[in-house]
Structure 1
Amino acid sequence: MKRSLAGRIWPNATAAVLALVFAFPVYWMFATAFKPTQDILSEDPVWFPLHGTFSHFVTAVDAPNFWRLAGNSVLVTVVAVGLSLLIGLCGSFAIARMRFKGRKGILLTFMVAQMAPWEVMVISIYMIVRDADLLNSLLPLTFFYMLMVLPFTLLTLRGYVAAVPKELEESAMVDGCSRRQAFVKVVLPLLAPGLMATSLFGFITAWNEFPLVLVLNKEPGAGTLPLWLSQFQTQFGNDWGATMAAASLFALPILVLFLFLQRKAVGGLTSGAVKG
């Protein structure tokens, strides 16, 4: 039965309104970053800057330790996500394909870990890192960021691995492949959407993490960009153009990665949630 005209219009209209509500703050941040200072401080808001400027971005990147902290963020995030994908891929394959004692308990443990708020464990983590004499080091950040995204990675990839028919692996092994070759050549290519979905989630989680780095890495050159961004306005006062430029630079990698992976990432999240 065909839906009425009103039944077709209101869902699209609702989606358009919600998209506008969520997209406007992002637009305003980027627009303010390009506005001259007089337009930012004008009593009448300038919705569409006609004469843009890059001076605010120059101020942001010339701030102390920007490039070093940007490198720290990239290094910690990429290594943490890479390790979580590697461990999660091996663990999800074992849980989905093998039957062993304690399997359900392991799944339950990962589900509880996924729901646990990391903020309540910051004090315990600080004491562990302090006793190991690793404060102001990137190694603890990388390790704990990996632990943050690992439960979601494993649970999502488990659904994807379970959705791949065992017969495909068995056929490859009959044709002469080893178990490892069958996994790499047959199963792994089919997991690409799930890998993209989990890597996107992991990147966003590790890139945006703030409480842990605030406690563990207090030296100026040992932190990451979230810590730099939180201190930026303190250094530059009411320079809203530079502040918005700094926020834009911080958000840009996530926006680019999401736009590049959005279709396969959304499909990966949906399939991983309903299969297995």
Structure 2
Amino acid sequence: MTTVSEPLRAQATRRVAGRRRSRRRLTRRTVSGVLLTLAALLVAAFAVFPFYWMVITALKPSSEIFTRTPLWWPHHATFSQFRSALVGQGMGRYFLNTLIVAGCTVVLSTIAAGLAALAVSRLRFRFRTSVLVLVLVVQMVPLEALVIPLFIMMNQAGLYNTLASLVIAYITFALPFAIWMLKGFYDAIPTELEDAAMVDGCTRVGAYWRILVPLVAPGLVATSIFAFIEAWNEFLLALTFLQDDSKFTLPIALNAFIGVEGQTQWGPLMAASAVFTLPVLVFFILVQKRLAGGLVQGAVKT
């Protein structure tokens, strides 16, 4: 009996020890998950809080904005700040100007970057590496060092005080990043896919449109987001190139709410800023699925 019960007791002891180890591992996983969740919530709250404070400030009347004790929620919510910003300041015209500039920048830079990245990825020509390096060097030059040369060029070309000058300038700054990103997408696509499409009767343009474009769609979306945000938020070049009030973009219009000697219209400024931020959020929500998609996913869909 002793020889039989001892192995059974040892087996039971191992089972109990295994269960305890499993419980400890489960406890550690639970604690780690809770800590990671708390850390993620803290980072999210830190990122969202400025936008939250901007929105509730826009909803507050002036009497609640200028208080010694901060109000975390408006007691008497009102849309008067939005009416003052959008109607009284003519923000609709500025919004349209910004939308035109950003839209043209996205479309033209995406087309140009897609073709340029295809050329440096597929073609083998002289000074190919030098061209790529020069494209990267352009990205390293600070914007402040280029304002005066660009102003002189636009003035001599007769483009001063036009929205076209902003579109051209924004495209030049968006192209280096877009070309380098899209080149990586093109390099990962086998050339046999294009050859097979042309064997089946596609032209080179048809193969590019039917085969390559769906595969590099995540890269095109990423570069379009970059170009859109850059064109939508840019202030220095817009302030330098534009003189006529009717051609101002939203960043310049927001600057009009900041007065001298601290006389800033905080309510209308926050309301206009909330409206100014909304198109970027909507644009990102619309394209986030494409942005999150990978190259393999695009190939499977095709």
Give the TM-score, by structure 2 length: 0.82
Q: Is the 2:104–2:167 contact (alpha carbons within 8 Å) kept by the matching residues of 1?
A: yes
Provide the rounded CA distance (Å) in 2 between the counterparts of 1:45 and 1:56.
18
Matching of residue 20 in structure 1 with residue 45 in structure 2: yes
Provide the rounded CA distance (Å) in 2 between the counterparts of 1:81 and 1:140.
15
Q: Is the 2:106–2:224 contact (alpha carbons within 8 Å) kept by the matching residues of 1?
A: yes
Matching of residue 260 in structure 1 with residue 286 in structure 2: yes
Matching of residue 245 in structure 1 with residue 271 in structure 2: yes
Deviates more, 1:36-45 or 1:141-150: 36-45
Q: Map Cα deviations across residues 212-267 of structure 1 (whole Å, 9 max, x no partner).
A: 11111122112211111111233994432111001111111112212332343255
1:133-212 paired onto structure 2 within 5 Å: 133-212=158-237
Provide the rounded CA distance (Å) in 1 between the counterparts of 2:176 and 2:248.
25
Match of 1:63 in 2: 88
Match of 1:123 in 2: 148
Which of 103, 110, 116 does residue 78 from structure 1 map onto?
Answer: 103
Provide the rounded CA distance (Å) in 2 between the counterparts of 1:223 and 1:256.
23
1:36 Cα deviation (Å)?
A: 2.4
Q: Which runs of 5+ in 2 are unaligned?
A: 1-24, 298-302
1:100/1:15 CA distance change after superposition, 3 Å: same
SS where residue 157 of structure 1 aligns? helix
Q: Is the 2:60–2:74 contact (alpha carbons within 8 Å) kept by the matching residues of 1?
A: yes
1:164 Cα deviation (Å)?
A: 1.8
Match of 2:258 in 1: 233
Q: Is the 2:222–2:291 contact (alpha carbons within 8 Å) kept by the matching residues of 1?
A: yes
Give the TM-score, by structure 1 length: 0.89
Provide the rounded CA distance (Å) in 1 between the counterparts of 2:141 and 2:35.
38
Q: Is the 2:259–2:265 contact (alpha carbons within 8 Å) kept by the matching residues of 1?
A: no
Moved over 6 A (4+): none
Q: Is the 1:200–1:265 contact (alpha carbons within 8 Å) kept by the matching residues of 2?
A: no
Aligned length: 269
1:65 Cα deviation (Å)?
A: 4.0
Provide the rounded CA distance (Å) in 1 between the counterparts of 2:130 and 2:150.
25
SS where residue 42 of structure 1 aligns? coil
- What code does the residue aligned with 1:208 have? N
Q: Which runs of 5+ in 1 are unaligned?
A: 272-276
1:237/1:246 CA distance change after superposition, 3 Å: farther
1:268/1:117 CA distance change after superposition, 3 Å: farther
Matching of residue 112 in structure 1 with residue 137 in structure 2: yes
- What code does the residue aligned with 2:233 have? N
- CA RMSD in angstroms comes to 2.3
Q: Map Cα deviations across residues 94-135 of structure 1 (whole Å, 9 max, x no partner).
A: 111122211111111111112221221101111222233332
**Greater C-alpha Rg:** 2
- What code does the residue aligned with 1:177 have? C
1:205-224 paired onto structure 2 within 5 Å: 205-224=230-249
Which of 107, 113, 116 does residue 88 from structure 1 map onto?
Answer: 113
Provide the rounded CA distance (Å) in 2 between the counterparts of 1:209 and 1:42.
32
Q: Is the 1:89–1:157 contact (alpha carbons within 8 Å) kept by the matching residues of 2?
A: yes
